[in-house]
A and B are shown apart, each in its own frame.
Chain A
Amino acid sequence: MASEPNNKMDEALKAYTTKRREDAGSPMELHPATRKLLQGEVARVYAKKRSSGASGFMGVLLRFWPRIAAATGTLALVAVAIFGIVPAVREQKQTARLAPAASSRLEKFSEREVLDREKAEMPALKPADELSLAQNNAPKQSDSKRDTAALNESLKSNVRLQSEDKRAYRPREDQSGVSAPAKAPKPVDQPMPLARTEPAAPAVNKPEDALAKKNVEEQRTLSYADAKLKSAPGQVPLDDSAKASTSALLAEQPASNLSQLAAKDASLGRASQTVLNLQETNGSGWYVQTGMQQLGAAAPLFDNYSYGVNLPVLNSFHFEQSSNRVVIRDLDGSVYTGDVITTPQLTGESLKEAEKIQAGKELDGVRRALREPEPQAVFFRAAGTNRSLRKPVTIEASLSSASAQPQSEAATPPPQEPQSRARSSSGGAGAVSPAQRSQSLTQQDSSVRFRQYSTQQPISVIRGRAMIGTNQEFQIQAVPAQR
């Protein structure tokens, strides 16, 4: 402990303290008035503290209500801002997603120009394009077998089609004994149908084993056509390379197997359309016809006749399908892109539509009797942003196509019809003589002709539904515009 350094002042202070304590006199007592005042203050202060502290949460709420109110208001503002901004950001992202689509569309346009130029060059090949090859060409049997083997490898299915020699090609008129007139070249804007005869041993000249072989080949052909129509009904796309390969194939081996070509188209194609049709020749076999139509510039325009659509969405639109890719262009410039979907991926209305189509197939017999074309449906799902509404639009629909030929005109058999006939002929091969067969086929002379895509444009109906945003849904029932 430090000693007192200043003794004089220490003593003086002690003396001062003693004197002051003596001056204070008797001990001071708390005056009752002062005590009452202090107790009143105690009651006031601690009653308020008790009331504020006793109520717990309510006390805290009452004490800090301005801060709580400010914090709550701030949170509400932030929440409103977030809920307002997030959809806008989503729309921006969708717009950004559409930008590459637009660029790809431009690429497609340029691609179309190239295709159009090539298409203009194609008429030189026209005379060689439409080829109907007769079946009975025995020296080419080895070629047919070789092509069939190649097809088996490429398609990985049990389909085999034998090609026929180009020299053996004869129109029906030839087979009926009338000399075939020189084929007039087709108009330039028509698609290029390709036809190849189905291989079969000549029924007249060959013995029974040849006839059996022919029946087998017919069945294979029909099964291939069936599979083709089911998997890609009426449409097998073709791109530049496919087209080039097609041209080369036609130039080098015009009578090669069309199925092989179609399979190649299916594997490569994108911007064109291939239609396979089966035609029966005069008692000699079946033709497989391929019609190609360039898409893009001539994409069909659809009008939506669904009731109650008062929105600028899909009232009239162009529809394009390239391979599994679907592009819908609305009149306001909106582009919806998507993919063709298989049945297990279908949902909602599309699934119902698919079920309807499936149920319709059960009426196949009735259709055959009425010569009603079988509907072929392509289910697709597309999405995009509508430019007018600035909202995302999702489309789930099916493109059903059927022949537009009137029912009264029984000239062109439906695709299934030759199959049934082939089955009947193959099943009753022993019952129907070649002469009777030839006669019946002669009666159906008018029905044995090429089904060209351009002359028999299929009626395409798009049915389905579209969803604007997340809660606005409407139906689509669109048919090609009559313009």
Chain B
Amino acid sequence: MSDDKHSEALLLSRCLKGDAEAWDELFDRHYQAAGRFVFQLGYDFTREDVEEICQEVFLTVIKHLDSFQGNCQFQTWLFRIAANKARDYRQKQHAAKRGGGQSTIPLHPLDTDEGIGIDPPSPLPGPDAALLMTERLSLVGQALDQLPEPCREVIDLRYFADLSYEEIAASLGLNAKTVSSRLSKCLDRLESIAKTMLSAEMKEKTSAGSV
């Protein structure tokens, strides 16, 4: 653990000197984790969204690496930047949808000449179960989007970044007990939001069925 920290400190010091190889090593070490983390932050994020967000995240790291004070791990600091960039991206996306904006177009062209990609068989459950699961998780994702930012931040770091309470506390500059209590309250709030959304959806379905 200490060796990792030491090597990371050396890598960051080299990056601060503008060493291109160090930066390449930093990208290779943290890009996958950052992409996976960002992908979980939005229930409707695509890989292209994640790549765009990760690009913004690493540009911010390049510009502001000297402001990293080493109070926490570099990855934790990176995830906080990623969470902020993902939030901004979501807000921008929602604004575009409200304004009739166009959906993103993938940069990578499809492999086939006809424009129809390969559609391998899905390992997921059957269509009904998958639909139910998708709807349920989609509901959780939407409820997460409606959480206020402090709750969203704690939940992101805890469930999507797999950080311990101590790491979250170090990252946010809080006490571990404070993090625990805040997480508990945020989960209660998330549940209430989810219930509200679920009841509203049930009402819509009931009204639609009656009609």
Partners in one complex: yes
Question: A residues near B, CB below 8 A?
Answer: 1-2, 4-6, 8-10, 12-17, 19-25, 27-31, 34-35, 37-39, 41-43, 45-47, 49-50
- Tell me which residues across on chain A come within 8 A of B194, comparing CB atoms: 9, 12
User: Could you give, for residues 151-191 of chain B, a 1 whenever the CB lies within 8 Å of some chain A CB and a 0 otherwise?
Assistant: 00001000110000100000000001100110110011011
Give chain A nearest CB distance to B69 CB in angstroms. Answer: 18
**A27:B32 contact, CB within 8 angstroms:** yes
Chain A interface helix/strand/loop/mixed: helix
The CA of A20 and the CA of B15, in the complex, are separated in Å by 32
Give chain B nearest CB distance to A176 CB in angstroms. Answer: 119
Between-chain CB contacts (< 8 Å), 14 pairs = A9-B190, A13-B140, A15-B133, A16-B40, A23-B39, A24-B36, A25-B47, A27-B36, A30-B28, A35-B27, A37-B55, A38-B62, A39-B24, A41-B59
**B55:A34 contact, CB within 8 angstroms:** yes
Residue in A19, A30, A31, A42 whose CB lies within 8 Å of B18: A42
**A16:B188 contact, CB within 8 angstroms:** no
Residue in B18, B32, B55, B136 whose CB lies within 8 Å of A46: B18
Chain B 21-71 residues near chain A, CB threshold 8 A: 23-24, 27-28, 31-32, 35-36, 39-40, 43, 47, 50-51, 54-55, 58-59, 62-63
Determine if B95 is an interface residue (Cβ-Cβ < 8 Å). Answer: no
Given A16-B137, A45-B62: A31 and B51 interface contact (C-beta under 8 Å): yes
**B140:A12 contact, CB within 8 angstroms:** yes
- Tell me which residues across on chain A come within 8 A of B31, comparing CB atoms: 28-30
- Tell me which residues across on chain B come within 8 A of A14, comparing CB atoms: 159
Given A17-B40, A30-B31, A38-B55: A5 and B18 interface contact (C-beta under 8 Å): no
The CA of A42 and the CA of B26, in the complex, are separated in Å by 12
The CA of A55 and the CA of B17, in the complex, are separated in Å by 15
Give chain B nearest CB distance to A347 CB in angstroms. Answer: 68
- Tell me which residues across on chain A come within 8 A of B9, comparing CB atoms: none
**B133:A6 contact, CB within 8 angstroms:** no
**A5:B184 contact, CB within 8 angstroms:** yes
**B177:A2 contact, CB within 8 angstroms:** yes
The CA of A8 and the CA of B198, in the complex, are separated in Å by 14
The CA of A8 and the CA of B143, in the complex, are separated in Å by 14
Give chain B nearest CB distance to A50 CB in angstroms. Answer: 6
- Tell me which residues across on chain A come within 8 A of B20, comparing CB atoms: 39, 42-43
- Tell me which residues across on chain B come within 8 A of A35, comparing CB atoms: 24, 27
- Tell me which residues across on chain B come within 8 A of A5, comparing CB atoms: 184, 187-188
Interface hub of B16, B50, B184 (most chain A Cβ within 10 A): B184
Closest B residue by C-beta to A19? B137
**B181:A2 contact, CB within 8 angstroms:** yes
- Tell me which residues across on chain A come within 8 A of B188, comparing CB atoms: 5-6, 9
**B62:A12 contact, CB within 8 angstroms:** no
Give chain A nearest CB distance to B30 CB in angstroms. Answer: 10
Interface hub of A9, A14, A23 (most chain B Cβ within 10 A): A9
Give chain B nearest CB distance to A23 CB in angstroms. Answer: 7
